[in-house]
Structure 1
Amino acid sequence: MPKFVLAYHTGPSFNPPADGPKHMEDWKAWMAGLGEAAVDPGLAVGPSKTVGTDGVTDGGGTNPLAGYTVIQADTIDAAIEIAATCPHIALGGTIEVAPDMELPM
């Protein structure tokens, strides 16, 4: 079954100290509900640095990465349906859904 990366981007209404405990409860329930579709629960990330030909910049740009999860689904549309139920959306965040290109490594 194809794999997809769900890349979480922080929304403007997320306040970790205030929203953290409730969000974590919602997150754990959502993750448990994914069952075998959850390949890798991933991790949350803090402030980033972006490395490019111009050097290193702080902050991850205008829509910084907040974390990721790897799921499996039959199609990208099915993966989008899964992403749409994530509690990250309710906090004003966005989720980028990208398919595994299945390149030999």
Structure 2
Amino acid sequence: MGKFVYAYTGGGMPESEEEGKRVMEAWTTWFGGLGDKVVDMGNPFGASASVGNGGPSGLTGYSIISAASLDEAKSLAGNCPILDGGKGAVEVYEALEM
């Protein structure tokens, strides 16, 4: 099994307490469905800065999961709540052992 990083882009902060509860429930349900494949549920990102030639990446959070392959990791990300309504995306990266 390898480790894979889900780098989230897009999405947004809930506009009401009710929406916030709905969003948190969706994330909790999704992570629950991944079971022991979740290595680190991660966190959303706050303020950011860029050092070097690149500009801001637009990343909004991350998670780390365990999967047998990049294809499996990509498939597991398919029901991620950030994809609801076409407002966000999940970039999937293999974390290489050093």
Q: Shorter-normalised TM-score: what interval? A: 0.7 to 0.9
Runs of 4+ in 1 over 6 A off after TM superposition: none
TM normalised by structure 1 equals 0.80
* CA apart distance, 1:17: 2.2
* CA apart distance, 1:53: 5.4
Q: After alignment, is 74-83 or 20-29 more displaced? A: 20-29
Q: Are positions 1:101 and 2:96 aligned together?
A: yes
Q: Please name the residue that 1:32 is paired with.
A: 32
* CA apart distance, 1:47: 2.9
The separation in 2 between residues aligned to 1:53 and 1:93, in whole angstroms, is 25
* CA apart distance, 1:69: 0.3
Equivalent position amino acid for 1:17 in 2: E
* Correspondence for 1:90 among 80, 84, 90: 84
The separation in 1 between residues aligned to 2:31 and 2:83, in whole angstroms, is 14
More helix by share: 2
How do residues 15-94 of structure 1 correspond to structure 2 at under 5 angstroms? Answer: 15-18=13-16, 19-52=19-52, 60-61=56-57, 64-91=58-85, 92-94=87-89
Unpaired segments ≥5 residues, structure 1: none
State the SS of the aligned residue for 2:47. coil
Aligned length: 95
Unpaired segments ≥5 residues, structure 2: none
Please list the CA deviations of residues 1-53 of structure 1 after superposition, one character each: whole Å capped at 9, or x if unmatched. 10100000014xx3422443211110011111111000000111123111115
Q: Please name the residue that 2:10 is paired with.
A: 10
Aligned CA-pair RMSD: 1.8
Percent of pairs with identical residues: 39
TM normalised by structure 2 equals 0.85
